[in-house]
Amino acid sequence: MRMVDLIEKKRDGLELSSEEIKYIIKGYTDGSIPDYQMSALTMAIYFKGMTENERATLTMAMVESGDQIDLSKIEGVKVDKHSTGGVGDTTTLVLGPLVASVGVPVAKMSGRGLGHTGGTIDKLEAVEGFHVEIDNDEFIQLVNKNKVAVIGQSGNLTPADKKLYALRDVTATVDSIPLIASSIMSKKIAAGADAIVLDVKTGAGAFMKTLEDSRRLAKAMVQIGNNVGRNTMAVISDMSQPLGFAIGNALEVQEAIDTLRGEGPEDLTELCLTLGSHMVFLAKKAATLKEARALLEKAISDGSALESFKVFLSSQGGDASVVDDMSRLPQAKYKIELEAKEEGYVSEIVADEIGTAAMLLGAGRATKESEIDLAVGLVLRKKIGDKVEKGESLLTIHSNFEDVQEVKEILYENIRLSKEAVEAPILIHEEITE
């Protein structure tokens, strides 16, 4: 087989066979196929797309390029949740303990990464003592005992995807639905999930800005999952404005605790109940989605979800007393209100720009080397559709430096008011099961 012939085949819009795709991924991973040929192929894929079979084969070839996590010693159906990324997305912190409290095993492998705030691990490290440096055996024991544990990303997972993603990043081929879908799904499958619930975000703060693109991506991922034997479904949820109120690490831990107590923001609570119901259903802990939701609502109201969070924190060295005394979480030195300059209705809270403001305060990493300040971030006081009086606070800035002029300018520019009443955006656009 020669790579040049395979590039030509895809360039002409023909379907690559399974053997050909496996040959490409193996050769690219071991270095026998050079970057310049792989770039030409990804550009051909960008223009010509991939068939259903090609996508499934590509995904599994990337899974098989490295280690695969064996979760078979964990009892029950292991359901993973993946979000395509948004601003102030606190769902993982809530969903882990919430679905665990009704008996669904959550074996979460998580990372740090770049972004407006830290990743799930950074957020959890706002709790004094909490750590994810546990070995595989301990991880599995903890999930069997408590139904939830988090471990840091380790080992050699999907090296083909790592190399390919870095190449796509510098060759203008990131924005290809088959390549994005197989990239994301390969990582979930290698991490050992039996079933996968996808939260595909849509809107200004999302990777996919339009509903149509989000739907195409969701369908592509659901199709791959189901074709390779992992029960997969997707929810398309709104990310035109940040989710919930809090954007920041310790601030999101607080918001998660409020939500597990039944006192969280309406949108975050609703999204967690929706995603959680699908997780419980796929894990076969309920016969219908309605039954699944009732189980979760009960776990919140009778305190078992909150209890599950405490056990999870303390089992990994964390100070669980933060749950009852949130002043034990890192606190910023300055709390500065952003006052509305006029009265009106909030019409836009441009999610990605608000995220950038949080990052400037130190809540997220601009580069891999940046240090995160776990205490800082933003807490929205108003969301789209809310009425605001002149001088009323739109949000609170939690900062460790006093001069936040630059941050305020970004915020004023991206929280827009209108004279006329505005409707709140739809939170859950669609649910895709095939």
Site for ligand URA in 93-122 (CB under 6 A): none
Q: What is the spatial distance between Cα 389 and Cα 19, in angstroms, rounded to a whole number? A: 65
User: Which lies closer to ligand URA via its Cβ, residue 183 or residue 223?
Assistant: 183
Picked from Ca ion, ligand URA, none, the partner binding residue 165 (CB below 5 to 8 A depending on kind) is ligand URA
Indicate if 186 belongs to the active site: no
DSSP string, 336-392: EEEE-SS-EEEEEE-HHHHHHHHHHHTSS-SSTTPPP-TT-EEEES--TT-EE-TT-
Indicate if 183 belongs to the active site: yes
Indicate if 78 belongs to the active site: no
* Least separation in angstroms between CB 174 and ligand URA: 6
Contacts of 134-141 with CB under 8 Å at 24 or more apart are 134/316, 139/107, 140/71, 140/73, 140/74, 140/107
Give the total of residues touching ligand URA (CB under 6 A).
6
Quick one: tokens of 226?
A: 């189901």
* Least separation in angstroms between CB 83 and ligand URA: 11
User: Which lies closer to ligand URA via its Cβ, residue 202 or residue 308?
Assistant: 202
Site for ligand URA in 176-195 (CB under 6 A): 179-180, 183-184
Q: Which of 81, 116, 187, 201 is catalytic?
A: 187
Which residue type occupies 430? E
Q: In 3-state terms, what secondary structure has residue 109?
A: strand
Indicate if 161 belongs to the active site: yes
Is residue 165 near ligand URA by the rule CB under 6 A? yes
Which residue's Cβ has the minimum distance to ligand URA?
183
Indicate if 238 belongs to the active site: no
Q: What single DSSP character describes residue 261?
A: T
Buried b (16+ CB within 10 A) or exposed e, 370-388: eebbbbbbbbbbbbbebeb
**Three state DSSP letters for 199-238:** EEEECCCCCCCCHHHHHHHHHHHHHHHHHCCCEEEEEEEE
Which residue's Cβ has the minimum distance to Ca ion?
244
Is residue 59 near ligand URA by the rule CB under 6 A? no
Is residue 412 near ligand URA by the rule CB under 6 A? no
* Least separation in angstroms between CB 217 and ligand URA: 9
Question: For the window 371-400, what string marks contact with ligand URA as x by the rule CB under 6 A?
Answer: ------------------------------
C-alpha 26 chain-centroid distance? 29
The catalytic residue positions are 82, 161, 168, 183, 187
Which residues contact ligand URA (rule: CB under 6 A)? 165, 174, 179-180, 183-184
